[in-house]
Amino acid sequence: MEKKNIDWAKLGFGYTKTDSRWQAEWKDGEWQEGGLIEDAEFHLPESACVFHYSQSCFEGLKAYTTKQGDIVTFRPDLNAERMANTCRRLAMPAYPQDEFVRAVVETVRANAAWVPPYGTGCSLYIRPVMIGSGPQIGVAPAPSYMFRVFVMPVGAYFKGAVKPLKLRVSEYDRAAPHGTGHIKAGLNYAMSLYATMEAHEEGYAENVYLDPATRTYIEETGGANIIFVDADNTVVVPKSPSILPSITRRSLVYVAEHYLGLKVVERQVALDELKGFKECALCGTAAVLAPVGQIDTKDGPIQFPSGMEKMGEISARLRETLTGIQMGEIEAPEGWIVKIA
Ligand SMILES: Cc1ncc(COP(=O)(O)O)c(C=O)c1O
The arithmetic mean of pLDDT across residues 207-230, rounded, is: 97
Q: What total number of domains does the chain contain?
A: 2
Nearest CA, atom 5, ligand 1: 224
306-315 pLDDT, tens per residue? Answer: 999 999 999 9
The verdict on 128 and 180 lying in the same domain is no
Quote the Cα angle for 244-320-272, to 5°.
Answer: 50
C-alpha to C-alpha distances, 229 to 37, 217, 234, 313, 316, nearest whole angstrom = 46, 16, 6, 10, 12
The arithmetic mean of pLDDT across residues 217-221, rounded, is: 98
Task: Confirm whether 335 is domain-assigned.
Answer: no
The verdict on 28 and 57 lying in the same domain is yes
The answer to whether the CB of 192 falls within 8 A of the CB of 244 is no
Task: Confirm whether 336 is domain-assigned.
Answer: no
Here the CATH number for the domain that contains residue 108 is 3.30.470.10
Given ligand 1 and candidates 246, 250, 283, 288, which is best to mutate, with the most ligand atoms within 8 Å of its CB? 246
- Res 160: pLDDT: 57
- Quick check: helix, strand or coil at residue 258? helix
- Res 152: pLDDT: 98
The residue among 128, 154, 180 that closes a domain is 154
Cα–ligand 1 centroid distance for 176 (angstroms): 17
The verdict on 199 and 88 lying in the same domain is no
The residue among 131, 154, 177 that closes a domain is 154
Residues forming a β-bridge with 281: 227, 291
- The amino acid sitting at 298 is K
Residue 336 has pLDDT above 60, yes or no: yes
> Using CA atoms, how far apart are residues 205 and 162, in angstroms rounded to an integer?
13
Residue 159 has pLDDT above 80, yes or no: no
C-alpha to C-alpha distances, 116 to 63, 75, 91, 148, 228, nearest whole angstrom = 9, 19, 37, 22, 31
The answer to whether the CB of 30 falls within 8 A of the CB of 96 is no
The verdict on 282 and 204 lying in the same domain is yes
Quote the Cα angle for 239-244-250, to 5°.
Answer: 70
Task: Confirm whether 54 is domain-assigned.
Answer: yes
Residue 320 has pLDDT above 70, yes or no: yes
CA 35 to chain centre: 25
The verdict on 316 and 283 lying in the same domain is yes
Task: Confirm whether 263 is domain-assigned.
Answer: yes
Task: Confirm whether 16 is domain-assigned.
Answer: yes
Here the CATH number for the domain that contains residue 311 is 3.20.10.10
Q: From 197, 169, 192, 194, select the one nearest 181 (Cα to Cα).
A: 192
Q: From 26, 253, 32, select the one nearest 142 (Cα to Cα).
A: 26
Which atom of ligand 1 has the smallest separation from the CA of 225?
A: 4
DSSP codes, 9-64 = GG--SS----S-EEEEEEETTEEPPPEEE--------TTBHHHHH--EEE--EEEE
Nearest CA, atom 15, ligand 1: 223
Confidence of residue 83 (pLDDT cuts 50, 70, 90): very high
Given ligand 1 and candidates 81, 191, 285, which is best to mutate, with the most ligand atoms within 8 Å of its CB? 285
Nearest CA, atom 16, ligand 1: 223
138-156 pLDDT, tens per residue? Answer: 999 999 999 999 999 999 7
The arithmetic mean of pLDDT across residues 236-248, rounded, is: 97
Ligand 1 first shell, C-beta below 6 A: 60, 220, 223-225, 244, 246-249, 284-285
The answer to whether the CB of 288 falls within 8 A of the CB of 121 is no
Q: What whole-number percentage of the chain has pLDDT above 70?
A: 99
The residue among 154, 185, 212 that closes a domain is 154
Q: What whole-number percentage of the chain has pLDDT above 90?
A: 95
Task: Confirm whether 24 is domain-assigned.
Answer: yes
- Res 287: pLDDT: 85
Computed over every residue of the chain, the mean pLDDT equals 96
Cα–ligand 1 centroid distance for 205 (angstroms): 15
The verdict on 114 and 186 lying in the same domain is no
- Res 266: pLDDT: 98
The answer to whether the CB of 341 falls within 8 A of the CB of 105 is no
Which atom of ligand 1 has the smallest separation from the CA of 174?
A: 1
Task: Confirm whether 341 is domain-assigned.
Answer: no
Q: Beta strand 165-169 with 145-154: parallel, antiparallel or unpaired?
A: unpaired
Q: From 175, 139, 179, 176, select the one nearest 54 (Cα to Cα).
A: 139
The verdict on 202 and 138 lying in the same domain is no
C-alpha to C-alpha distances, 323 to 8, 80, 86, 224, 259, nearest whole angstrom = 18, 21, 27, 17, 13
For residue 149, the enclosing domain spans: 8-154
Quote the Cα angle for 267-271-272, to 5°.
Answer: 105
Cα–ligand 1 centroid distance for 177 (angstroms): 19
Residue 185 has pLDDT above 70, yes or no: yes
Please list the active-site residues: 184
The verdict on 174 and 316 lying in the same domain is yes
The verdict on 133 and 213 lying in the same domain is no
Quote the Cα angle for 187-224-151, to 5°.
Answer: 75
Task: Confirm whether 28 is domain-assigned.
Answer: yes
Given ligand 1 and candidates 75, 83, 225, 249, which is best to mutate, with the most ligand atoms within 8 Å of its CB? 225
Which atom of ligand 1 has the smallest separation from the CA of 220?
A: 3
The verdict on 128 and 191 lying in the same domain is no
> Using CA atoms, how far apart are residues 23 and 2, in angstroms rounded to an integer?
26
What does pTM read for this prediction? 0.97
- Res 161: pLDDT: 55
